[in-house]
Structure 1
Amino acid sequence: MRTSPAQPAASEPVHTSWPAPDSARRYGSVSRFFHWGMALCFALVFAAALAHYFAKDSALDQLLWQAHKPVGALLFLLWILRATWALLHARQRPPHVNLAAHLGHLALYALMLAVPAIALLRQYGSGRAFAPFGIPLMQGHEDKIAWMTELGSLLHGELGWVLLALVAGHIGMALWHRRPGHTNVLPRMLGKP
């Protein structure tokens, strides 16, 4: 006697195509790529910043600091792509657990934009050329623009530390929600049911 394979539940469609789309239950492959790709970039950028702050001029600082600016520029590009993707697929994505989670994500998105944008503004104001990963992004010029460099010096580092605190809070809350009786949100970003 021949048996048929088990059929998935009607509420859980099977997606065999790539990229897997976002759904109300989990994030799709493109959203997960942006999330985890940016997480890796943030790990490198923050490791470089921490080494530069706590062990300036050490071998670790010299190794990591050279990646800080180019990876920061990459994060800016990934933010633009990620935010565009999120807006285009907003109705298909999992809902936020509560208002605090929604506001926390908005704050993360705002700082993920502001921190590298302010750094790029400072870079331009400094008059130095900038070519992350060998790609010419800014031509050098002789005139320095004081308000740009001053704004960057005033806010980039401080907002970067706030962003690090929010990222740590984001990770902490994702782990907190794994407790019994809470909505376990981590599988949404792991692509699991």
Structure 2
Amino acid sequence: METASGAADEKHPSLWLDSSARYGLVSRFLHWSIAYLLIWQMVTLLGWRLIGDGPFMRSVSELGPYHGTVGVLVLSLGVARLVWAIANRHRRPPYDRTVSGLIARLAHELFYALMIAIPAIALLRAYGKGRGYEQWGLQLVPKTDTEIAWMMAPADALHGLLAWTFGALIAGHVGMAFWHRIVRRDGVLRRMAGTLKPA
């Protein structure tokens, strides 16, 4: 049975919290911050791969955060986003009870897993190599000067593969967002990009 306060919350949802009709300010901030970081990461990686080392790519790289910085930020924001998603799990827009809804749910769960796993295994490798990792003047991973093979193995084997898989998933996610907007015109994109006012 729904309480009076619960009914009021549904009629006048907080702009910060998610609701059944749209995502709130916190979810949107986390979503678009991570989206920027991941797209920047993929663009610069593709640039280095296609153009190679040189003055142009070095200049471009100066325009945004470096590879390791992006990883730390995505890991931090990814964990925050996962915690926030769990806290808002009963408020969020529901998935369609169709095959496409199931695929969307699995894709989002894979997003969370990759956001955390890819940078986490890179930090594990930094520890395993003994070199540690420092960011913003903080020693996030201690330097030991001792190599530990099993700590390096996951990132050596999977970091690049998972990153390109993530890139393909991002491209598919963007494509589906436009498909919902242009072909289906069902308002799915407005949940994360539209008005925050109650419908």
TM-score by length of 1: 0.85
Per-residue CA deviations over 1:152-180 (Å, capped at 9, x if unaligned) read: 11100110000000011001001101135
After TM superposition, the runs of 4+ consecutive aligned structure 1 residues lying more than 3 A away are 10-15, 60-63, 179-182
Cα deviation, residue 14, structure 1 = 4.4
Give the 3-state SS of the residue equivalent to 2:81 in structure 1. Answer: helix
1:37 to 25, 33, 46: 33
Q: Separation in 2 of the partners of 1:45 and 1:83?
A: 21
Per-residue CA deviations over 1:11-36 (Å, capped at 9, x if unaligned) read: 97445x6x532100000000000000
Give the 3-state SS of the residue equivalent to 1:131 in structure 2. Answer: strand
Q: Separation in 1 of the partners of 2:82 and 2:11?
A: 26
Contact 1:29-1:191 at 8 Å conserved across structures: no
Give the 3-state SS of the residue equivalent to 1:140 in structure 2. Answer: coil
1:48 aligns with 2:44: yes
Cα deviation, residue 44, structure 1 = 1.9
Q: Which amino acid is the alignment partner of residue 83 of structure 1?
A: L
The equivalent residue for 2:193 is: 190
Cα deviation, residue 124, structure 1 = 1.2
Once the two structures are overlaid, the 10-residue window that deviates more, 76-85 or 130-139, is 130-139
Give the 3-state SS of the residue equivalent to 1:147 in structure 2. Answer: helix
Contact 2:126-2:133 at 8 Å conserved across structures: yes
Q: How many residues align?
A: 182
The equivalent residue for 1:157 is: 160
Cα deviation, residue 151, structure 1 = 2.1
Contact 2:10-2:19 at 8 Å conserved across structures: no
TM-score by length of 2: 0.82
Once the two structures are overlaid, the 10-residue window that deviates more, 181-190 or 162-171, is 181-190
The equivalent residue for 1:104 is: 107
Q: Separation in 2 of the partners of 1:122 and 1:31?
A: 30
Q: Separation in 2 of the partners of 1:69 and 1:47?
A: 15
Q: Which amino acid is the alignment partner of residue 43 of structure 1?
A: I
C-alpha change, 1:105 and 1:62, in structure 2 (3 Å) is same
Cα deviation, residue 94, structure 1 = 0.7
Q: Separation in 1 of the partners of 2:146 and 2:183?
A: 59
The equivalent residue for 1:172 is: 175
- State the identity %: 41
Aligned-pair Cα RMSD in Å: 2.2
C-alpha change, 1:132 and 1:56, in structure 2 (3 Å) is farther
Once the two structures are overlaid, the 10-residue window that deviates more, 171-180 or 129-138, is 129-138
Q: Separation in 2 of the partners of 1:130 and 1:168?
A: 30
Q: Separation in 2 of the partners of 1:186 and 1:30?
A: 17
Unaligned runs of 5+ in 1: 1-9
Q: Separation in 1 of the partners of 2:123 and 2:93?
A: 33
Q: Separation in 1 of the partners of 2:39 and 2:71?
A: 11
The equivalent residue for 1:3 is: none
Q: Separation in 1 of the partners of 2:190 and 2:83?
A: 23
1:126 to 116, 126, 129: 129
